[in-house]
Every structure is written in structure tokens, then in C-alpha cells.
Amino acid sequence: MSNRHAPVVADIALFAAPFIYLRHGETTSNRDEIIAGSLDVELTDQGRAQAAEAGRRLATLGLSTGPVVTSSRRRARDTAMIVAGALGHIVTDLIVLPDLDERNWGALEGRPRRERRPDALPADL
């Protein structure tokens, strides 16, 4: 099988410069153990605190300012804004890339996490 049509890292704009990948803080669905890949759930107070702590830790790395890129989910945007604020960024150039959104879990969306089988996708996907 040929990979000649597969993109190489140089073809992906996100990889054109060094970046730090950071997952969002705890959400209401994380806390409640609910599957929420495509649901637009909010951060908990703990999630906001996690984002602020991540920002404080990242600040020790001496990061330069630059664009902040996030998925379209509120949890990711809010985390990005909190982290950017902790880094002293005034974010006027938040870049939202829906391609970074978490996957849709079909019929499992909104269901208890224990219903998800690690070896199978829901029948409607």
C-alpha cells in the first residue's frame, strides 16, 4: 500500500512551528463520567483551576506570544483563554479549528462512560 497521498508533517499548517498541545480541564461530563465527545459541555471549577495551573507551569518555560489554536468546543476555548491569560497573553487572535474537535460517539453521546466498549464503536457510527 502506498502512502504517497498521505500528508507529511510539513504539509500541515499547525505543524509549521513548534507548539504545545494541551487538553482541556475537567468538564461536567468528565466529573459525572458521561461520554461527551461532540457535546459542548462546560468546565467545572476544578477544570478552570487545572487550566490556570497549566498556565502557571507553562509560564515557567518562557513561551513567546503567538496565536492560540483551539477546537470549537467551549471546554477547549475556555481552557485556552485561561491558560493564555496565565501566560500574560491578551488573546485577540484565537484560532478555532473544528478539525480539532473530539469525535462524535453516536448513540453513546450523553451516556455513562461504562457503556463504552474499548473494542467496538456504536452501531450508528
Point out the catalytic residue in the list 5, 24, 26, 42.
24
The grid cell for 63 is 513561551
Residues β-bridged to residue 68: 94
Q: Residue 115 and residue 66: Cα distance in Å, rounded?
A: 40
With the C-alpha atoms ordered 67, 21, 104, 53, is the resulting torsion angle positive or negative?
negative
Query: Residue 107 — φ and ψ, nearest 5°?
Result: -60, -15
Point out the catalytic residue in the list 5, 102, 109, 115.
102
The grid cell for 97 is 479549528
Is 24 noted as a catalytic residue in this protein? yes
The contacts of residue 21 (CB under 8 Å, 6+ apart) are none
Q: Which residues are catalytic?
A: 24, 102
